[in-house]
Amino acid sequence: MAAPASDKNDGSKSESSGGIKAMLPLILNIVLLPVMAFAMTQYVLLPRLNSAAAATAPVEGGHDNNSATAGDSSRGDKHADPASHSPDSGKGGQSSDAGGHGGGSDKTEMLDPVTVNVAGTMGSRLVMAKIGLRGTHPKLEDLVKTRSADLRDAASSLLCTKTLMDIERQGFRITIKAEFKNAFLRVLGPGVFTDVVVPDLAVQ
């Protein structure tokens, strides 16, 4: 009588262990996918975006130095030329200087990178975007810094609704830039910036 009872117990134990083994891959996927996504964001995507931003800074500085050198050479030519002392030449110099100031007033202020989960991927895929606001407003830098949290919140609210199909669709960059511009206008109001740039957009 004791032998059949032990057989039943052994059978129930093997069935329970078999069920746990069958669920083990699913449990590992649920636990490891967020960890892998976080690691890829911290150690792959963010370093790439930071290096790209660092590479663009010297290029902008080089343009400023070139313009300054050109300005110095033009001033030297004016002093060397006796005709530069005439009233007409003086007016021409003032107009060229004014034109130089107008060309340098257009600037771009970048936000911190925005990273969200891609819709419909159960948190296994991420989309990261680097976004900037371009304009000629004298207080553009201060306004972007002051409202940075609101601007990034508006951008992440838009990105988190996008699926992989949306992101891979042709013309997505043009569409998302227009949506960012409308969202940022609601935050900053009209007249603060003229355009939105998205130099980096990556899916991992």
Which residues partner with 203 through β-bridges? 127
Q: How large a percentage of the chain has pLDDT more than 70? A: 65
Summarize pLDDT for 115-140 with one digit per residue, the tens. Answer: 999 998 888 899 999 999 999 999 99
Predicted confidence band at 88 (pLDDT cuts at 50, 70, 90)? Answer: very low
Q: What whole-number distance in Å separates Cα of residue 175 and Cα of residue 57?
A: 27
**81-85, 106-110, 164-168, 177-181: which range is least confident on average?**
81-85
Higher pLDDT, 85 or 201: 201
What per-residue confidence (pLDDT) applies to 152?
94
Sign of dihedral through CA atoms 91, 96, 102, 104? negative
Find all residues with CB under 8 Å of 192, minimum gap 6, and list them: 133, 135, 137, 139, 140, 143
The predicted-structure confidence for 25-57, as pLDDT tens digits, reads as follows 778 778 777 777 777 777 777 777 777 666 665
Between CA 69 and CA 77 the distance in angstroms is 12
> Do residues 84 and 93 touch, judged by C-beta distance below 8 A?
yes
pTM for this model (two decimals): 0.50
pLDDT at 165 over 50: yes
